[in-house]
Chains A and B, each alone.
Chain A
Amino acid sequence: GDSVTQMEGPVTLSEEAFLTINCTYTATGYPSLFWYVQYPGEGLQLLLKATKADDKGSNKGFEATYRKETTSFHLEKGSVQVSDSAVYFCALSDPTGNQFYFGTGTSLTVIP
């Protein structure tokens, strides 16, 4: 079945460090891929998405590229800020089914 596997946390970085959170997926067909973010005390919100191979989603300095050949959608940011501290979830939407599949989440803490 479809699934998403993402890098286990927690991740702690210093401000201005480079961030990578790995995400790989298993799916039939051509899923859409998403990164959601959950800031402390808030609900999940969409960070970025990509709907087809080689698409790059970007928002707030974050970006992720849909790589079909490696079935990956790694999240990157060149210089993290304290305000980026949150839990990040990778997800896919299966075109042949009704469900979204979420990863287990990666907690990021950025220290000044």
Chain B
Amino acid sequence: GAGVSQSPSNKVTEKGKDVELRCDPISGHTALYWYRQSLGQGLEFLIYFQGNSAPDKSGLPSDRFSAERTGGSVSTLTIQRTQQEDSAVYLCASSLESRSEQYFGPGTRLTVT
């Protein structure tokens, strides 16, 4: 079946602009995660959604970052007033339930100029 998809694959934006990154998880997966991967770094957890529960936002680096998940499926990560340090690959993953293996999307490479 279809895997996790993300769009856009690449995004170049000017400092101070807002961006929206989209994630389509695997159908039926109740858990959805966002991570950030900076050059040469590991994965930094950002936010986690599980079913209809309140999301775990403990990894969001600042109040410029927010995310929502509509209808328990598609998720959007929004970064307001982008800064150059926001440049990274943003990865989305979904899993059938929490604790089970995650399936990753190809990522969105964000470049803030």
Contact = CB atoms under 8 A, between A and B. Distances in A.
Contact of A99 (B56, B106, B107): B56
A39 to B, nearest CB: 12
A43 B56 contact: no
A105 B106 contact: no
Interface in A1-54: 32, 34, 36, 42-46, 49
B1 interface: no
Interface of chain A: mostly helix, strand, loop or mixed:
strand
Nearest to B3: A43
6 contacts: A34-B101, A45-B104, A46-B103, A95-B99, A98-B48, A101-B45
Interface of B: 33, 35, 41-43, 45, 48, 50, 56, 58-59, 91, 93, 98-107
